[in-house]
């Protein structure tokens, strides 16, 4: 049996326009054997557009593992600018093919009005790029 | 005979950054220390405060242990407010020696010549804090700290 | 005599925006498992966008882009749950422990316009601005600090042109000021060690 250990692997992505979906397409490190938990969090950026400390949904994320063979489903991404964290991850048990792709789509659902992006596509100064990070709790054999 | 007792130790903190040493003896009718809960009257005073203690000369919590992790807000169910020690600690009449340090100089705890980087908590020197703002959270003195120690006879 | 658990701690001081602090040390020799980790930070508002990477015996546990706020637990969490607990505890034996805290690391990526127009995955080479881990067995107990600056995030800018205003693509944002961060502030790292 190969010796495995726990590792947390973040996959951050940037959202640069309110109306354009973001395509996620990245190769997971070859040493990741199994994903045991998933958590998706807003990292930075949205706080420049709102004074709220919490918004239940800023966008939807769909995720697929193993070169699109395993569909994990959709995740609502909240904005939470409060310090209190929880170490809770959504449970998963996905055996990962070495060197396979993590793919998906992210659709922004907030700040989509014309005060953020004008009809001609230009962004206004109210819009801020923001970063969302997908955290994978995984077993690694490196 | 009861199986549980909450033994209280009360301390009065009268100045920012003050360190108080205290001694206590556990009620001898109880075999072990199960947990600890520290209650402070001002939330602001929790930030940066530390509490360590030894029981019969064995370190249970080191002096740099944050009070923050020994307390809980009203959002936590009463039965979960205590910090429960990861193992059973024999108490029966043992003597406690503890040290509480007010944290209102936080986040400027030490100045060992470096203004950044890793610092050695053993080199705390409150005298060289000139130029730094102390008590940034506006803690009001004096205040009382109540340390609740959960003694138990349960297996 | 010692007890079967120990909270091993490291304290860091961050004195400038964008600063990165590295430390290394050795796990206490009497303990064989690392069960959990937690951070505590002087100012809550300092947390957002700051990152904390962590390695044990030169094996990555937390990536350098791991957000610090995911390791900080508030008073609404029961005291015994205020840690990131490793379901599989990490074996240690006087192991080399290394950490890197970077203040406001992610903010510096917000304005980067080199990604595709809609956005996309940020390459880890962009996040891990500079490799700061020290290889080899040069363990120095709690005294080895490397401090340097990464480019600070420039506050969103807008240029006023007559009546209208033109935003600079990619860096535009509303001027809502986030809660201030006061420097210096301290970061405490607590590790839960266990004998079994």
Is C160 inside a domain boundary?
no
What do you get for the CA distance between the two ends of chain C, in Å?
16
| Residue that has been written with the tokens 């909450």 in this structure | B6
Query: Distance between CA B38 and CA A13 in Å, rounded?
Result: 41
Neighbours of A6 (CB within 10 A): 16
What do you get for the CA distance between the two ends of chain A, in Å?
13
In terms of average pLDDT, the best of A85-89, A113-117, B145-149, C116-120 is B145-149
Is C25 inside a domain boundary?
yes
**pLDDT above 60: residue C167:** no
Domain count along chain B: 1
Instruction: List chain A domain ranges.
Output: 5-140
> Across the interface, do C122 and A84 touch by the CB < 8 Å criterion?
no
Residues of chain A in contact with residue C173, where contact means CB-CB under 8 angstroms, are: 45, 48-49, 125-129
> Across the interface, do A8 and C62 touch by the CB < 8 Å criterion?
yes
Per the structure, the complete domain to which residue C46 belongs is given by: 14-114+123-153+180-194
**0.85 surpassed by complex ipTM:** yes
Domain count along chain C: 1
Give the pTM.
0.84
C63-88 per-position pLDDT tens digit: 888 999 899 988 888 999 999 999 89
CB A44 within 8 A of CB C107: yes
Asked if B81 has any chain C CB less than 8 Å from its own CB, the reply is yes
CATH number of the domain located at residue range(s) A5-140 in this protein:
2.60.120
Six-digit token string for B145: 């700290």
What residues pair up with A136 in beta bridges, in sequence order?
A: A9, A38
Is C158 inside a domain boundary?
no
Q: What is the pLDDT of residue B128?
A: 44
Query: Distance between CA C191 and CA A75 in Å, rounded?
Result: 31
> Across the interface, do B115 and C13 touch by the CB < 8 Å criterion?
yes
> Across the interface, do B75 and C12 touch by the CB < 8 Å criterion?
no
Could you tell me the strand order of the sheet in which C84-91 lies?
B117-119, C5-14, C185-194, C33-41, C84-91
> Across the interface, do C3 and B87 touch by the CB < 8 Å criterion?
yes
**CATH number for the domain that contains residue B52:** 2.60.120
**B71 vs C9, C75, C185: nearest CB:** C75
> Across the interface, do A131 and C85 touch by the CB < 8 Å criterion?
no
Per the structure, the complete domain to which residue B26 belongs is given by: 4-152
Q: Indicate which of C51, C120, C190 best probes the interface with A, i.e. most A CBs within 10 Å of its own CB.
A: C120
What do you get for the CA distance between the two ends of chain B, in Å?
15
| Residue that has been written with the tokens 């600090």 in this structure | C145
Query: Distance between CA A33 and CA A142 in Å, rounded?
Result: 10
**pLDDT above 50: residue B113:** no
Residues of chain A in contact with residue C74, where contact means CB-CB under 8 angstroms, are: 82-85
Cis peptide before A18 (omega within 30 of 0): no
DSSP A1-28: ----EEEEEEEEEEE--SSSPEEEEEEP
Specify the 3-state DSSP secondary structure of B88: strand
């Amino acid at each position: 049996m190969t010796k495995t250990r726990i590792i947390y692997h973040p996959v951050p992505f940037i959202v640069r326009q309110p109306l354009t979906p973001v395509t996620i397409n990245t190769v997971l490190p070859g040493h990741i054997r199994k994903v045991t938990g998933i958590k998706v969090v807003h990292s930075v950026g949205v706080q420049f557009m709102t004074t709220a400390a919490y918004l239940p949904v800023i966008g939807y994320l769909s995720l697929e593992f193993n070169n699109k063979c395993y569909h994990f489903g959709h995740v609502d991404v909240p904005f939470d600018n409060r310090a209190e964290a929880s170490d809770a991850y959504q449970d998963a048990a996905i055996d990962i093919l070495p060197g396979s792709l993590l793919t998906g789509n992210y659709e922004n659902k907030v700040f989509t009005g014309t005060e953020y992006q004008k009809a001609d596509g230009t962004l206004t100064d109210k819009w801020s790029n923001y970063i969302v990070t997908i955290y994978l709790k995984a077993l690694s054999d490196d | 005979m009861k199986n549980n007792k909450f033994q209280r130790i009360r301390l009065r903190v009268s100045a920012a950054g003050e360190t108080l040493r205290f001694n206590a003896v556990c009620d001898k009718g109880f075999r072990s220390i199960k947990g600890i809960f520290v209650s402070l009257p001002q939330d602001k005073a929790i930030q940066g405060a530390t509490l360590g203690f030894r029981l019969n000369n064995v370190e249970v919590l080191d002096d740099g242990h944050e009070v923050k992790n020994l307390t809980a807000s009203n959002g936590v169910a009463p039965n979960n407010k205590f910090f429960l020690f990861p193992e059973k600690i024999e108490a029966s009449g043992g003597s406690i020696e503890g040290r509480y340090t007010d944290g209102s100089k936080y986040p400027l705890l030490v100045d060992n010549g470096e203004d950044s980087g890793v610092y050695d908590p053993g080199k705390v020197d409150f005298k060289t804090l000139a130029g730094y703002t102390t008590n940034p959270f506006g803690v009001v003195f004096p205040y009382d700290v109540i340390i609740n120690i959960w003694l138990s006879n349960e297996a | 005599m010692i007890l079967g658990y120990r909270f091993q701690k490291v304290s860091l001081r961050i004195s400038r925006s964008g600063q990165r602090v590295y430390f290394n040390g050795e796990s206490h020799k009497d303990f064989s498992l690392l069960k959990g980790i937690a951070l505590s930070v002087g100012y809550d508002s300092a947390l957002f966008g700051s990152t904390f990477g962590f390695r044990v015996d030169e094996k990555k546990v937390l990536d350098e882009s791991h957000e610090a706020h995911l390791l900080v637990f508030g008073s609404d969490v029961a005291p015994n749950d205020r840690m990131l607990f490793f379901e599989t505890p990490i074996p240690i034996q006087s192991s080399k422990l290394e950490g890197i805290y970077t203040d406001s690391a992610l903010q510096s990526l917000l304005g980067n316009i080199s990604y595709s127009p809609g956005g996309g995955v940020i390459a880890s080479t962009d996040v891990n601005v500079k490799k700061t881990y020290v290889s080899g067995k040069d363990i120095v107990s709690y005294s080895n600090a490397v401090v340097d600056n990464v480019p600070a995030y420039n506050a969103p800018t807008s240029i006023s042109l007559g009546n209208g205003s033109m935003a600079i693509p990619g860096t535009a944002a509303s001027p809502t000021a986030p809660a201030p961060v006061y420097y210096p502030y301290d970061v405490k790292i607590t590790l839960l060690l266990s004998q079994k």
